[in-house]
Amino acid sequence: MFKLLSKTIAVVFAACALLLIAAFTDANNTQQFTLNEAIQAHTISANATSNGKYSGRSVDLVLVNKTQNTLQIKVPAGTLYEPKDDGEQTLIQMEDQLITLAPGGTYKGQVGAFCTEATQRCPTASNGFTISQTKNPKFDLMFAYLKDKKVSKGTYQDAVWAISDGHSVANIVTELPADVAFRKEIATITGQRDTWFTSPQNVRIDDQGNFNHETVKISGHLSFTCPAGTKVRQDIHRANGEVFYASDKTMTAQASKVNYDFHLSVMGWEKGTYYIRIHDGTRELGKYEFTV
């Protein structure tokens, strides 16, 4: 019986040893590359095509493992998808993506990438992309900031346009405290002043793929001081001081310090600079500038 038990223990040890060896072998056979490294090393073939979108999951990606090893491919933030048609937009990836390829295996999926050229045409579905990596240090600063942050993905496109096209950071809609901090960071990276207001954009694409950006509303937080009981008005002026809209409504200040949320629909307005003038009929209590 002792001999039988010894044989059983030996078999168990042998099996465990084989499992350890197999695990070690599998780990050693897994090779790690960035996407561009793997392409340059000819360990994979890669085909990136447009699915007709300019943001979000906008790139169809097919990778084929040309080796007999398991490959772990990192598609890093900052990967560029450059169209073969120079008149169409280059897209940039905002987040790292890890893809595991079995020996000889194929990956088919989509990656999230965003337009970096607002004045160019939207990529045409099925058109091919060339894969490269951004050399813009401002994008690198943004990706470094985002490494350990969780911001709303809805901020991504307007943050990219703030860097690539000089769009206002006011277009970045902030739903979470992390979004507010992210917008401040983008303002710092681009050298802009963070605004008191948010101005969401309506983006329309015509039949030729050209973009039209329209500001649809202005929203933000206003504050001013005055004696409690003061009757207050607010008017809208053009930048040159001309009255654009004079309100006949008043509100009564309940305290000397007044704070309130402001919302204004500006769809269809002429592009330009305006300001809100808060007054009591005689004295100006506050002035807030905004851009449409």
Q: How would you classify residue 181: left for phi > 0, otherwise alpha for psi between -120 and 50, otherwise beta? A: alpha
Mean of pLDDT values over 232-250: 94
Cα–Cα dist 215/167, whole Å: 12
Strands 57-65 and 44-50: what pairing?
A: antiparallel
Those residues whose C-beta lies under 8 Å from the C-beta of residue 119, and which sit 6 or more positions away, are: 165, 211
Which position has the higher pLDDT, 23 or 213?
Answer: 213
| Domain extent listing, the chain | 30-135, 137-195, 216-291
CA distance 152 to 86: 31
* Per-residue confidence (pLDDT) for residue 248, from 0 to 100: 87
Tell me the C-alpha to C-alpha distance, in Å, between residue 228 and each of 232, 234, 235, 248, 249.
11, 17, 20, 20, 18
Using an 8 Å Cβ cutoff, are 140 and 166 in contact?
A: no
Predicted local distance difference test score (pLDDT) of residue 14: 43
What pLDDT digit, counting tens, does each position of 114-163 carry?
999 999 999 999 999 999 999 999 999 999 999 999 999 999 999 999 99
- Residues 264-291: tens digit of each pLDDT: 999 999 999 999 999 999 999 999 999 9
Phi and psi at 182, nearest 5°, equal -65, -45
Tokens of 77: 């933030």
Q: What is the pLDDT of residue 5?
A: 39
- Using only the alpha carbons of the chain, give its radius of gyration: 28
Q: Give tens-digit pLDDT for 158-201.
A: 999 999 999 999 999 999 999 999 999 999 999 999 999 999 99
User: What's the CATH code, domain 216-291?
Assistant: 2.60.40.2560
Structure tokens at 226: 């005055």
pLDDT tens digits, one per residue of 62-112: 999 999 999 999 999 999 999 999 999 999 999 999 999 999 999 999 999
* CB-based contact 276:262 (threshold 8 Å): yes
pLDDT at 1 over 50: no
Q: Locate 4 and state its tokens.
A: 């039988």
Does 2.60.40 match the CATH number of domain 30-135? yes
Tell me if domain 30-135 and domain 216-291 are identical in fold.
Answer: yes
Q: Look at residue 44 and tell me whether its pLDDT is greater than 60.
A: yes
